[in-house]
Amino acid sequence: MTKKPAKAGSKGTPRARTSGQKGSADADGTPQETGKTEDLAPDTMPPGPTMTNNQGVGISDDQNSLKSHVRGPTLLEDIMMREKITHFDHERIPERVVHARGSAAHGFFQVYEDLSDVTMAQLFRDPKIQTPVFVRFSTVAGSRGSTDTPRDVRGFAVKFYTQEGVWDLVGNNMPVFFIQDAIKFPDLIHAVKPEPHNEIPQAQSAHDTFWDFASLTPESAHMLMWVMSDRGIPRSLTTMEGFGVHTFRLVNEDGKSRFVKFHWKPAKGVCSLVWEEAQLISGKDPDFNRRDLYEAIERGDFPEWELGFQIVEEEDEHKFGFDLLDATKIIPEELVPVRKIGKMTLNRNPDNFFAETEQVAFHTGHVVPGIDFTNDPLLQGRLFSYIDTQLRRVGPNFHEIPINRPLVPVDNNQRDGFGRQTINKGKVSYFPNSLGGGCPMHQPGAAAAFRSVALKEPGLKVRERSESFSDHFSQATQFWNSMSDWEKDHIAAAFSFELNQVVDEGVRNRTMNEILVNIAAELAEMVSGATGIEIAPAGTPEAPTPSAPTPSGPLKPNAASLKSPALSMDKPPPTIKGRKIAILGGDGVDDKEVQTALLLYAKEGLVAELIGPHAGAVEGASGKQLKVNRAAPNAPSVVYDAVLVPHGVGPALAAMPLAQRFIHEAYRHGKPVSVASDAGGLLEAAGVPEGDGVVVAEGSELLTGLLENLSQHRFPRRVSVLKPS
């Protein structure tokens, strides 16, 4: 008899759910489990001892097909082979049309204090509740197997399994968007995706169709600034901010509604890569960001973000000089401070990528009482699109899949469809009914029932854009003005890279003369110098003037034209926990120094790896064997944040092109480099000058100096990205 594989629990549908909401905590208060983990347990299967087919029948051999004789043809009768192969043939579901490449993690959210005054949502009212979350980060343009580090927006989608049902906050790592009206979304995505005739390029905006669209869409100017900034190439998914983008509403029990913008502030600060590094990582480690998130959680370095609210009273709606319903605008933090109201911690990796990360289905329309929508036309379109895409991608019963199902019971008269799990009893599946005692009933008075905010909608039914959406450049200019010198250098270099990839002269000219010159003359000049695109003197016939489909509007001075220091990334991160240090080793290395370094860096929560000429071990100066973490040919400089060259190996490394390149790249990418006094020759051979984060030192200064420099993240002024050397 074949035994069935042991399951982690028994399954019953509809499921009897325990309250399951509060996470249990360690003695020190560190939460270990969340209600969602318990909820998933009955569906989570460890590998069992014996193999069966899908009907539970034992399998004697699944490595040889059934043949008419030992060298004969395979028989149609081979039910085992056919079941195995047909299931394999159906393993894929359609990938997301955008945001296909994603990485996710479980965790929980906890509010700091009772916010009943602004919202009736339970998760914001009780600081004792740990609401389970599942968070999926993504790139937008690339397909599922594409690289982690293209220049792109990152998705930041959070599913909250609240006591009142599921709330999805489906945001990005940038607070604005390319377009103002959802009806343009298919055009935007068709333009940025690989061109349809040859399916090139993968996961890149640096091609003609994207810039054709962007140059004809002045409302994209502000978002272009964000994507061309280093925010488009985050160092880690854990060093990104997140934004709900749209203005939403919070509603309290009295029915009072206020506008709100949602912000996620990372505990590790906002840190990015540089473009050359990002491109190299794409080849050396396409899973760079995914690996970083996974490994951080595995070693207990749990990523955290604080959730912030920017709240605007209804009566203040029109005081900003831009429209709160326009998703191409931010509310500068200096005008309305971000109030930090709670914290999210990610503390568990998914058990199965497909079942969780791939099948999770977000929808902007998944809200709970206390959170409501505005008339932002981009948000309104998303409310339609997400449910539609989940029906197509995961199927009509996507809400029953373990990762998507709420922790509270679901009951309504929806029935059937592919993959239905619930066995609904009884003959009543309609409302109103008397045969089922009127059940399930509406809950008109219940706090847990969602009621839309009652709003007066004056005006004519029109297919038009509001005049209040017509200032496309003030905030793009504000973004530019808020940048430091090196950030400006990187932004201008990014525009230049993209426009140098564009073949069509009309598109290049239009981007310059319709978009960039309207953002900032300084930016236009920098890009002109690096692309050869001329800036047409205003009003001359050479100035291309295609008819843009939306009015670009006058440059209106408004409150938003001020500098907003919060936009700049030119600040040291609050912590460097999780950063990776490469220790270049080899036979004869000072093994005591290496061991001290490994201990010191581990104590600081850093990941230090000893790199040797090959896997295995190297022999230290004292004859001791030191374990090598990575072989030099497999350990590219770009996946580390800093380099240490201990005593004993400098002279040998100086003669090795691989080591020279390692150091040179680290230098170009602004990383701290600390070398022992016998490794000065290595710096010279690598063409790396001392100073500005490059240190030659002795003793403990060698090890601690590296830490001090790392606390700045990078030394971005060493190399001008705009003028490649």
Interface residues with ligand HDE (CB under 6 A) are: 96-99, 102, 136, 138, 155, 157, 170-172, 177, 182, 185, 245, 327, 362, 378, 381-382, 385-386, 389
Indicate if 363 belongs to the active site.
Answer: no
Q: Shortest approach of ligand HDE to residue 383 CB, angstroms?
A: 9
Q: Which is nearer to ligand HDE, 244 or 578 (CB)?
A: 244
- As a whole number of angstroms, the distance between CA 616 and CA 585 comes to 12
- Hey, which bits of 284-382 come out as E strands? 304-312, 339-348, 371-372
Among residues 99, 222, 647, 713, the one annotated as catalytic is 99
Phi, psi dihedrals of residue 571, rounded to the nearest 5°? -145, 145
Q: Which is nearer to ligand HDE, 267 or 327 (CB)?
A: 327
Q: Shortest approach of ligand HDE to residue 225 CB, angstroms?
A: 16
Indicate if 500 belongs to the active site.
Answer: no
Cα→Cα distances 111→121, 285, 297, 306, 655, Å = 11, 37, 22, 9, 56
Q: Which is nearer to ligand HDE, 170 or 576 (CB)?
A: 170
Q: Which is nearer to ligand HDE, 157 or 606 (CB)?
A: 157
Q: Which is nearer to ligand HDE, 179 or 644 (CB)?
A: 179
Q: Are 564 and 337 in contact (CB under 8 A)?
A: no
Q: Shortest approach of ligand HDE to residue 24 CB, angstroms?
A: 28
C-alpha 648: how far from chain center? 41
Q: Which is nearer to ligand HDE, 97 or 555 (CB)?
A: 97
Q: Shortest approach of ligand HDE to residue 177 CB, angstroms?
A: 4
* DSSP H helical ranges for 79-207: 79-89, 185-192
Tokens 């509740």 belong to 129
Indicate the SS3 state at residue 718: coil
Q: Which is nearer to ligand HDE, 167 or 601 (CB)?
A: 167
| Beta-carbon count within 10 A of 396 CB | 16
Q: Shortest approach of ligand HDE to residue 400 CB, angstroms?
A: 17
Cα→Cα distances 105→133, 351, 598, Å = 8, 10, 28
Q: Which residues contact 222 (CB under 8 A, 6 or more apart)?
A: 176, 328, 329, 472, 473, 475, 476, 479
Cα→Cα distances 61→54, 78, 462, Å = 15, 12, 67
Using the Cα atoms of residue 646, residue 649, residue 653 and residue 654 in order, give the sign of their dihedral: positive
Q: Shortest approach of ligand HDE to residue 660 CB, angstroms?
A: 41
Q: Shortest approach of ligand HDE to residue 212 CB, angstroms?
A: 19
Q: Which is nearer to ligand HDE, 22 or 382 (CB)?
A: 382
Using the Cα atoms of residue 450, residue 453, residue 459 and residue 465 in order, give the sign of their dihedral: negative
Q: Which is nearer to ligand HDE, 172 or 310 (CB)?
A: 172
Indicate the SS3 state at residue 219: helix
Q: Shortest approach of ligand HDE to residue 386 CB, angstroms?
A: 4
Phi, psi dihedrals of residue 72, rounded to the nearest 5°? -95, 180
| Cis bond before residue 14 (omega within 30° of 0) | yes
Q: Are 472 and 221 in contact (CB under 8 A)?
A: yes
Q: Shortest approach of ligand HDE to residue 176 CB, angstroms?
A: 9
**Residue of 701, 708, 652 whose CA lies nearest to 676:** 701
Query: Longest C-alpha distance within the chain, in Å?
Result: 89
Cα→Cα distances 373→139, 315, 387, 451, Å = 25, 17, 16, 11
Q: Shortest approach of ligand HDE to residue 464 CB, angstroms?
A: 18
- As a whole number of angstroms, the distance between CA 77 and CA 72 comes to 14
**CA 572, 576, 577: angle at the middle one, nearest 5?**
155
DSSP 601-653: HHHTT-EEEEEESSSEEEE-TTS-EEEESEEGGG--GGG-SEEEE-TTSHHHH
Counted residue by residue, the chain has a size of 725
Indicate the SS3 state at residue 347: strand
- Hey, which bits of 349-484 come out as E strands? 371-372
**Residue of 108, 43, 99 whose CA lies nearest to 405:** 43
Q: Which is nearer to ligand HDE, 245 or 675 (CB)?
A: 245
Q: Which is nearer to ligand HDE, 328 or 528 (CB)?
A: 328
Beta bridge partners of 311: 260
Q: Which residue is nearest to ligand HDE (CB)?
A: 155
Q: Shortest approach of ligand HDE to residue 345 CB, angstroms?
A: 19
Q: Which is nearer to ligand HDE, 341 or 378 (CB)?
A: 378
Q: Are 524 and 258 in contact (CB under 8 A)?
A: no
Retrieve residue 95's tokens.
């990938």
Among residues 172, 347, 349, 709, the one annotated as catalytic is 172
Q: Buried b / exposed e across 458-474, counting CB within 10 Å, b at 16+?
A: eeeeeeebeeebbbbbb
Q: Shortest approach of ligand HDE to residue 185 CB, angstroms?
A: 4
Beta bridge partners of 428: none
Q: Which is nearer to ligand HDE, 243 or 275 (CB)?
A: 243
Three-class SS of 51-103: CECCCCCECCCCCCCCECCCCCCECCCCHHHHHHHHHHHCCCCCCCCCCCCEE
Give me the active site residues, please: 99, 172
